[in-house]
Amino acid sequence: MPAGGPKQALGGVVFSLLPRIGLSLSMLLGVCTLVFLLIHLVPGDPVEVMLGEGARPADQEALRHALGLDRPLAVQYLEYLGRLARLDLGMSLHAQRPVLDLLSERVGPTLELAVASLSLAIVLAIPLGVLAAHYRGRGVDRAAMTFSMLGAAIPNFWLGPLLILVFSLWLGWTPVSGREGALSLVLPAVTLGTGLAAVLARMVRSSVLEVLGEDYVRTARAKGLGPLAVLWRHALRNAWLPILTLIGLQFGALLGGAVITETVFSWPGLGSLLVEAIQTRDYPLVQGAVLLIALTYLAVNTLTDLLYVAIDPRVRAV
């Protein structure tokens, strides 16, 4: 290895990520601009929501002036970007609290639900996908793909209430809703995790089947390696890149807030907070929540790129 090899390799990885980081920053600016424009152009007045439709016009104008909503959109936009540069997300119009505080309170529950759901999905999907690929066309394959089709077809807004009816109301094993202890996490995680596992299992099966046809897999078999060693040490290891991509996208979506599931189970996460902010026309809170979701996607995608290099060093040469 040449002198400074590890440092040179690390520098190459960082340099290869610079265009991606620049693109991510430009996308983040585009998201901020788009959300700012849409939230101001959608019909509705947050002042009427806060004061009620029966409030006097003079009181409405006074509050609108105090909140800065009577200024031109261009001025409000520039002020918004200036606050973002100072990491100031502003004050919630409805709660009258810093947006950053409200978001920080909801990140923990969302992260908890995302990790539990994705862990369940991986535990279910990896063995199912590998076994389906190994027993292609047999009963195990058909059973795994049937589960995958059902999991992808059943919507969360139907599965969630069904699980509540069976396990909370009939059996009394879990709380109906809310976030009260470990048992309250079970049903939301199962609702999200089964759908993710269904999609992930199909990806695992497809990726492993593609790798099983490669020459090095046939060589491993010719050397006398057993089926399990071929599957886990050779096929699955080399099939990880597309699987990792899907896991990263799913994890980013979960951290962005599983709106339907959080609403069904009254889970106090980012998704339910965003719905509440939209209903109350809370401009700063909506912008802050969407900005956090966009940052989450960008961070997860960048981390996925780094994991590509760790799993397959050939990616550095691309």
Q: Which of 257, 256, 263 is nearest to 157 (CA)?
A: 263
Tens digits of per-residue pLDDT, 237-250? 777 778 888 888 88
CA angle 187, 189, 194 (to 5 degrees): 100
Per-residue pLDDT band at 182 (split at 50, 70, 90): confident
Query: Both tokens of residue 115?
Result: 């990790």
Second-level CATH architecture of 99-316: Orthogonal Bundle (1.10)
Inter-CA distances, 45 with 38, 49, 182, 276, 305, Å:
13, 7, 40, 15, 42
The answer to whether the CB of 156 falls within 8 A of the CB of 260 is: yes
Domain positions in the chain are 9-97, 99-316
- As a whole number of Å, the CA-based R_g of the chain is 24
CA angle 38, 42, 48 (to 5 degrees): 130
The answer to whether the CB of 121 falls within 8 A of the CB of 200 is: yes
How many helices (DSSP H) and strands (DSSP E) are in the chain? 15, 0
Per-residue pLDDT band at 157 (split at 50, 70, 90): confident
* Confidence check: pLDDT of 170 > 70: yes
Tens digits of per-residue pLDDT, 187-218? 999 998 888 888 888 888 888 888 776 767 77
Q: Residue with structure tokens 């099939």?
A: 239
Tens digits of per-residue pLDDT, 15-46? 666 776 777 778 778 877 887 777 677 666 66
DSSP β-bridge partners for residue 91: 98
SS3 state of residue 98: strand
Q: Which burial class, exposed, middle or buried, applies to 76 when counting CB atoms under 10 A from its CB (0-12, 13-18, 19+)?
A: middle
Cα(196)–Cα(192) distance, rounded to whole angstroms?
A: 6
The residue ranking higher by pLDDT, 80 or 124, is: 124
Cα(198)–Cα(194) distance, rounded to whole angstroms?
A: 6
Q: How far is CA 138 from the centre of its chain?
A: 34
SS3 state of residue 91: strand
Query: Both tokens of residue 176?
Result: 């109906």
Q: How far is CA 241 from the centre of its chain?
A: 18
Contacts 24+ apart (CB under 8 A), 54-61: none
Tens digits of per-residue pLDDT, 234-283? 677 777 778 888 888 888 778 765 788 888 888 888 888 888 888 777 87
Task: Kindly report the average pLDDT of the chain as a whole number.
Answer: 79
The answer to whether the CB of 125 falls within 8 A of the CB of 285 is: no
